[in-house]
Amino acid sequence: MNILVKRFFPVLALSALVAATQLSSANAAPALSTVESDELEMSYSLVTSEFYKKVDPQVLLDGARTELVAYLEKNGVKSPNLPVLHAAEDPTVNARELEREVSAVVTTYGARFGSRNLTYEAIGGMLASCKDKYTTFLTPKEYAELNEGLDGGNFSGVGISISVDDKSKLLKVNEVIPGGPAEKAGLQADDTITEIDGRSTRGLSTDDDAKLLRGKEGTQVRLQIERDGAMIAPVLVTRAVIHQPSVYSRLLDNGIGYARLTVFGSNTASELTQALTKLEAQGAKAYILDLRDNGGGYLNAAIDVSSKFIPSGPIVSVESRGGSNTQYDAEDTAIAPKPLAVLVNQYTASASEITSGAIQDDGVGELIGEKTYGKGVVQTIHPLPDGSAVKITSARYLTPRGRDINQIGIVPDIVTVEPKGAQLGNPATDTQLQSAITYLQGKLAQLGT
């Protein structure tokens, strides 16, 4: 998520990164391209300067060598002969030592395995030697998928989020994307899609269902819908290009506005602002912010989201290597105060925990659900020239009251267990949501509204 804090990932400008970290590659062996040499040097420089704990240069070099040996042996090379690496005090010398090692491997085995793959293995091994599960190498495909997950991707479809109902094994509509084709055709959250173009959805996976629902822009798909236990007339939906949102919202009974955040991406704060504005216009008297299963995202998104409910004061403190501490305060964008419940569970992590911790510490809302994941460290993602990237844990964060929740998590104010098979967001089966509604109804009764 993930990010980067699940994702938070402040991304540095590549031009500035290159200027700050690029080392001379004049002595690089010809087996490596200039890009590959630069990526090795940049990765070494970044992990030694930005990892939130001091790292042993010899450990990094050994990590690269060990990973290369393991990769070659796994792919049929018996007893690969790789030079032993010796770290020096000068980081430039160490970066060149790493470069020479990979060059030697590429010279011997590059024709079989490719210089790019071997370079990736060396960088990955170096980062893995930090023994931090969040400090990793991302291939171009993995980095693109991460960005798409955080910032939303575009696809041609009908505009719904889906799941498979545990009991009926039929396709369930979780959310309908506002303004999308499905909403225009009259589909609603909690509808059951029994057939797609005449094919039963019973027993299909969500991937299978998604393939049937997606298609070329402008084409139509025929859906058979079951609503509230009764079949309704088939619905024709014209596919269109959809941008996957990160915020889903609707007004529940008794004037309770519900907003579920799937990730803390670059558009999340603006999407939440639009959702809250719409709910306010519909007469919302209280709010539920659902952060369950939200693995995190960008630090600035967590600050922006928190600022919608916290009018002033600290949101989070970030402690970097060497003990330097940066406090981020609310941005004076808060909505009018109303009763607030925040839903959390064991998969509420990272940026989600920043927002949860800030709301709990500030006292503007009640956390309901189960203890959160406990990811209190921050990652910085650095793009590399070929589209790959290195993700490095660069800091830890503390809640406004100075709590370090890493590997501890946040205990909610009202503990409610999530039952197996619950349909999150459906008041009929979601006991945590029911608990939040009950809490808010009590608050509204106290206020006489």
What amino acid positions are annotated as catalytic residues?
A: 350, 361, 375
In angstroms, rounded to a whole number, what is the distance separating the alpha carbons of residues 40 and 55? 17
Distances (CA, A) of 142 to 2, 13, 103, 146, 387: 11, 19, 25, 6, 10
In angstroms, rounded to a whole number, what is the distance separating the alpha carbons of residues 107 and 97? 15
CA dihedral of 363, 364, 366, 371, whole degrees rounded to 10: -70
What the block records as the tokens of 93 is 């010398």
In angstroms, rounded to a whole number, what is the distance separating the alpha carbons of residues 91 and 324? 23
SS3 content of the chain, % helix, strand, coil (to 5): 35, 25, 40
Distances (CA, A) of 35 to 15, 18, 42, 67, 237: 14, 12, 10, 21, 47
CA-based nearest residue to 159, from 111, 232, 204, 213: 213
* Single-letter amino acid code for the residue at 300: N
Q: Are 179 and 240 in contact (CB under 8 A)?
A: no
Q: Are 281 and 300 in contact (CB under 8 A)?
A: no
Between vectors from CA 404 to CA 311 and to CA 263, what angle results, nearest 5°?
A: 60
In angstroms, rounded to a whole number, what is the distance separating the alpha carbons of residues 413 and 417? 13
Q: Are 234 and 223 in contact (CB under 8 A)?
A: yes
Q: Are 18 and 41 in contact (CB under 8 A)?
A: no
CA dihedral of 294, 299, 304, 308, whole degrees rounded to 10: 50
Distances (CA, A) of 86 to 55, 69, 89, 123, 389: 15, 16, 10, 17, 26
Helix (H, G, I), strand (E, B) or coil at 446: helix
* Single-letter amino acid code for the residue at 118: L
Strands 199-200 and 235-238: unpaired
Q: Are 137 and 388 in contact (CB under 8 A)?
A: yes
- Classify residue 413 by its DSSP letter: S
Q: Are 370 and 408 in contact (CB under 8 A)?
A: no
